[in-house]
Structure 1
Amino acid sequence: MSKVIRIGTRDSELALWQAKTVQNALEKTGHKTELVPVKSTGDLNLDQPLYEMGITGIFTKTLDVAMIKGEVDIAVHSMKDVPTALPKGIVEGAVMKRASNKDILIHKGVGFLETEEGTIATGSLRRKAQWLHKYPKHNVVDLRGNVNTRLQKLEDSDWNGAIFAAAGLERIEIKPENFIDLNWMIPAPAQGAMLIVAMENDEYCRKALSALNHKESEICVHIEREFLRVLEGGCTAPIGGLARIVNDYVHFQGALFSIDGQQKIEVERSLPINEVKNMGRDCALEILENEGKELMKKIKSVLNN
């Protein structure tokens, strides 16, 4: 059996780059493909902060529906945007080799970092909390839109800088020279990774995608997402998590922050790669038992009001 694999994607420049990367990989393995771009709710509503919109799945729901209705066969996502529980009938097809997981600051000069006055823009609770943890006197404002829109908003504003994922800017080759790596900031679980999903009952597409899977990236992002799933319980929260493989050991660092950045509960652990089952869960439970349950209650209370 042979068929044209319809690839569902958001229609932003970055999303289309990701989808075309998957398209090229599939065609190299002899498959016929077609791109099907759609707009998501997250792209259409740029007025509200993401956490006010119920961030879980805001960028993936439209494509999920298109898959379930049979309008597309597979969908390509930035994995950090994908809820930790996939919709019924949809499964992971492949995790592509991960790009940079770093957050970077695009700035208009870094002198303000030595002062107590500064305004930084980000639409991410995680980035906001970590910035305020390090720079408690600074002001953090909301920033929405695709990467091009956000760069333009920064240029047109009087802000000192804005925080971006390095991978997004590098993929579409618009990373400016005025940036610094935020090596101290723990990235979002699965940041820099691309996920391709398929319908569970579609053996043809699942087999086609299996050849694209990068095992080391899959191991790391699964640990990070398990950490996120156990910690958040379906609630948006300022959570960072990063797993790295070095010399057959997996090193994991994760943290939960209060929204104002004043409180930080962190965990670090290293295990042999063949012993990492439940690593993410165990690290999340350690945080929950170390005042994390109380902090999550406070976060939910703030976000629900």
Structure 2
Amino acid sequence: MIVGTRGSQLALAQTKQVCQDLTKITGEQIDLEIIKTKGDKITTSQLYNMDSKGLFTKELDIALLDEEVDFTVHSFKDLPTELDEDLEIVAVPIRESPREVLISEKSWEELEPGSKLGTSSLRREAFCNHYEKDFELKPIRGNIETRINKVFESDLDATIMAEAGLKRLGLTENIKTVFPIDYITPPAGQGALAIITRKDSNKKKIISKLNDYTSMQEVFAEKKVLEELGVGCQWPIGSIAQMKDKKFNIYSILLTRDGEILKEQNETGSIKNAVELGKKIGKVFEDYV
């Protein structure tokens, strides 16, 4: 089998772990094909100022459709809300932490007004404004290691990142503060991976053995909120779904760029109805975007 992946250290770490887990099941060695995406080539623009649909996935989709690779591995949050009609997410392995973390020499409380915080996320910017931190927000792009280095080796005082990527790369010593999910709510799908194949692939059945049902239902529900709204990273939206006391709960928050909360919504029900719960929130949010 051949797997397609982006070439960043995080993408490679994620893909290699998936390959190891799959090899344990199949006994088959899997070859890696590194594919550069448009998002990898653009390093100067804010993502929310661009047409971000498929920015980090389109080239991998093409390789799949052209049968150059058998499957691809993505960070779930990078996926567009709609896949090509001939492709399918066949597995979401057990989700890593969805939480947001602060990278800085100072804690969140110690960062003073005027501190320079690097972010290219409209959602993170909105949360900083919501808590009236009065930071000087500076654009920052690059892989995880690059962004960490910019904090400790340039004039930036801090940045906010996903805990999952730092865990997967063994870089958690750089974390100063871990934010509760109800304080800075993560984007849909954060911490999860998506394994995609062609719908007609004869590898689907074996690859699907990597799927974790709960993780898949969580991220499908979260993505459904965005799908219902027809938006990606152009609006500050946080969504998190989790099993709580044997019930499936999804919480979403919609803010303005200035940090005003437009709407918060909680829905609880059966995990079998996870996507419908996400759709319900999306319907409510429609009146605010």
The answer to whether the superposition gives a TM-score over 0.5 is yes
* Residue in 1 that maps onto 2:284: 286
Deviation at 1:236, TM superposition (A): 2.5
* Residue in 1 that maps onto 2:14: 18
Contact 1:112 1:118 in 2 (8 A): no
Contact 1:136 1:261 in 2 (8 A): no
Q: How many residues align?
A: 286
SS at match of 1:88: coil
TM-score by length of 2: 0.93
1-structure distance, mates of 2:108, 2:194: 38
* Residue in 2 that maps onto 1:192: 191
* Residue in 2 that maps onto 1:303: none
Q: Tell me the alpha carbon deviations over residues 124-174 of structure 1, each in whole angstroms, 9 at most, x when there is no partner.
A: 111111111112522211110110111112222222200110000110101
Q: Cα distance 1:235–1:119, how it changes in 2: closer, same or farther (>3 A)?
A: closer
* Residue in 2 that maps onto 1:221: 219
* Residue in 2 that maps onto 1:143: 140
1-structure distance, mates of 2:250, 2:17: 28
1-structure distance, mates of 2:124, 2:186: 8
Identity of aligned residues (%): 31
Instruction: For 1:6, give the aligned amino acid.
Output: I
* Residue in 2 that maps onto 1:8: 4
- Any residues of structure 2 matched to 1:122-141 within 5 Å, and which? 122-135=119-132, 137-141=134-138
RMSD (Å), alpha carbons: 1.7
SS at match of 1:29: helix
Q: Cα distance 1:275–1:92, how it changes in 2: closer, same or farther (>3 A)?
A: closer
Deviation at 1:234, TM superposition (A): 5.7
Residue from 90, 113, 116 that aligns with 1:119: 116
* Residue in 2 that maps onto 1:259: 257
Deviation at 1:53, TM superposition (A): 2.9
- Indicate the larger mover: 163-172 or 257-266: 257-266
* Residue in 1 that maps onto 2:54: 57
* Residue in 1 that maps onto 2:234: 236
SS at match of 2:88: strand
Residue from 147, 150, 153 that aligns with 1:153: 150
- Indicate the larger mover: 246-255 or 262-271: 262-271
* Residue in 2 that maps onto 1:32: 29
Q: Which runs of 5+ in 1 are unaligned?
A: 297-305
Deviation at 1:215, TM superposition (A): 0.3
SS at match of 2:221: helix
Matched, 1:42 2:39: yes
Contact 1:56 1:236 in 2 (8 A): no
Deviation at 1:275, TM superposition (A): 4.2
Contact 1:106 1:176 in 2 (8 A): no
Q: Tell me the alpha carbon deviations over residues 256-283 of structure 1, each in whole angstroms, 9 at most, x when there is no partner.
A: 1112223432111222334445100111
Deviation at 1:115, TM superposition (A): 3.9
* Residue in 1 that maps onto 2:82: 85
2-structure distance, mates of 1:47, 1:279: 37
Deviation at 1:178, TM superposition (A): 4.5
1-structure distance, mates of 2:111, 2:13: 37
* Residue in 2 that maps onto 1:302: none
Q: Which runs of 5+ in 2 are unaligned?
A: none
Q: Tell me the alpha carbon deviations over residues 83-102 of structure 1, each in whole angstroms, 9 at most, x when there is no partner.
A: 11001211111011100000
TM-score by length of 1: 0.89
SS at match of 2:30: strand
Residue from 237, 245, 248 that aligns with 1:247: 245
